[in-house]
């Protein structure tokens, strides 16, 4: 799978080239001028390995307040304080090699990376005979190529030979599939709410809707401060709006709709407050688009909070599995692992 990181290829590099100046075990992967791409030769428990590194990353380590005060201001030491003044947390920041994985003597590549973002995915794709990319609907980072498709997690181990790209450690992959009949029966209790909210909201013009929303929020969200309202996501504000909306679904569907909409879409709340039309908002803030966005989001949240509406479907390991909006589970040795 990672043909260009085969153990023999890296071994040949150590025989043909000298290590980088000032080191005894650091060798280039590819061009010697690209010194941010290299591997380190080591021996662990009698096994020779190569640690593949791509650049550097910042490592945050929790420290006490006393240690923070002691290190603050010292040369070449970076410490920060996070959190509120009442409950702060303290960290030391160190620059460390950004290790991607380990090449073993048995010609396997083991993922040990702290993270896999676009840069890491791109460089690993160049060193493989396939592609790595992040696909949320496939659970996270996946590898695809030569009719192979694998989820990637920390500890995943693959043979570097393209003729044997099955994982070194077997895994199972499951997706959630909606139970259609159970879901249809479950959502019958929401039909009245959705119907009334849609009918009433689509009958309103934006300015009328804006004034109505202001009255609804003032009535149901105690002490809401319009003047000091920030326009970015606030989890506490969302919780207040959604909680109030749930209590009004049966008695005041339009009020509940407005609170759901403003709770989940803080851009709408900001526009209600300012009355301004920013570029592109006219199209995104039509009454129909607002309702469709609300319906989609509320439906997704209902599904997420009702696991009994789903069943597990196992996909064949190594074969491409369909995109899944509800979640992918990867099981290794009976335990669920998290994809990058």
The pLDDT tens digits of the residues spanning 171-228 come to 999 999 999 999 999 999 999 999 999 999 999 888 899 999 999 999 999 888 888 8
How high is the pLDDT of residue 118? 93
> Closest Cα to residue 283, out of 273, 271, 274, 295?
271
**pLDDT higher than threshold 80 for residue 285:** no
3-state secondary structure string across 18-54: CCCCCCCCEEECCCCCCCCEEEEEEEECCEEEEEEEE
How high is the pLDDT of residue 272? 86
Q: How far is the first Cα of the chain from the last one, in angstroms, to the nearest whole number?
A: 18
CA angle 138, 324, 187 (to 5 degrees): 155
How high is the pLDDT of residue 93? 94
Better-scored residue on pLDDT, 11 or 286: 11
How high is the pLDDT of residue 279? 52
**pLDDT higher than threshold 90 for residue 163:** no
**CB count in 10 Å sphere of residue 223:** 6
Measured N-to-C along each axis, helices 253-264 and 235-246 cross at an angle, to the nearest 10 degrees, of: 160
Distances (CA, A) of 311 to 7, 135, 179, 183, 326: 42, 22, 7, 12, 11
Give the model confidence (pLDDT) of 127-152 as tens digits. Answer: 988 899 999 999 999 999 878 899 99
Give the model confidence (pLDDT) of 198-213 as tens digits. Answer: 999 999 888 899 999 9
Tokens of residue 306, six digits? 């009702």
What's the average model confidence in pLDDT over 91-119?
94
Query: Mean pLDDT across the chain, nearest whole number?
Result: 90
**pLDDT higher than threshold 90 for residue 104:** yes
| Residue 191, helix vs strand vs coil | helix
Q: Residue 233's Cα: distance from chain center in Å?
A: 17
How high is the pLDDT of residue 194? 95
């Amino acid at each position: 799978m990672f043909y260009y990181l085969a153990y023999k290829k890296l071994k040949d590099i150590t025989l043909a080239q000298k290590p980088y100046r000032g080191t005894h075990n650091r060798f280039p992967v590819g061009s010697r001028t690209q010194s941010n791409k290299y591997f380190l030769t080591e021996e662990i428990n009698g096994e020779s390995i190569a640690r593949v590194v791509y650049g550097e990353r910042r490592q945050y380590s929790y420290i006490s307040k006393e240690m923070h005060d002691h290190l603050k201001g010292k040369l070449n030491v970076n410490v920060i304080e996070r959190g509120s003044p009442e409950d702060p947390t303290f960290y030391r920041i160190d620059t460390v090699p950004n290790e991607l994985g380990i090449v073993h003597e048995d010609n396997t590549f083991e993922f040990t990376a702290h993270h896999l973002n676009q840069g890491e995915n791109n460089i690993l794709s160049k060193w493989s005979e396939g592609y790595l990319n992040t696909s949320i609907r496939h659970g996270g980072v996946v590898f695809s190529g030569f009719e192979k498709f694998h989820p990637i997690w920390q500890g995943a181990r693959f043979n570097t030979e393209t003729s044997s790209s099955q994982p070194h450690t077997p895994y199972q992959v499951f997706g959630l599939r909606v139970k259609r009949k159970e879901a249809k029966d479950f959502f019958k209790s929401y039909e009245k709410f959705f119907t009334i909210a849609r009918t009433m909201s689509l009958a309103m013009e934006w300015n009328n809707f804006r004034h109505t929303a202001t009255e609804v929020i003032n009535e149901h969200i105690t002490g809401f401060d319009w003047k000091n309202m920030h326009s970015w996501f606030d989890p506490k504000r969302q919780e207040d709006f959604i909680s109030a909306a749930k209590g009004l679904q049966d008695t005041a569907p339009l009020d509940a709709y407005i609170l759901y909409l403003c709770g989940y879409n803080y851009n709408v709340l900001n526009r209600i407050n300012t009355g301004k039309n920013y570029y592109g908002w006219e199209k995104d803030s039509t009454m129909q688009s607002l309702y469709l966005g609300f319906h989609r989001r509320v439906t997704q949240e209902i599904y997420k909070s009702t696991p009994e509406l789903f069943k597990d479907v196992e996909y064949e390991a190594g074969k491409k599995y369909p995109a899944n909006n509800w979640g992918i589970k990867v099981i290794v040795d009976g335990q669920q692992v998290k994809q990058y």
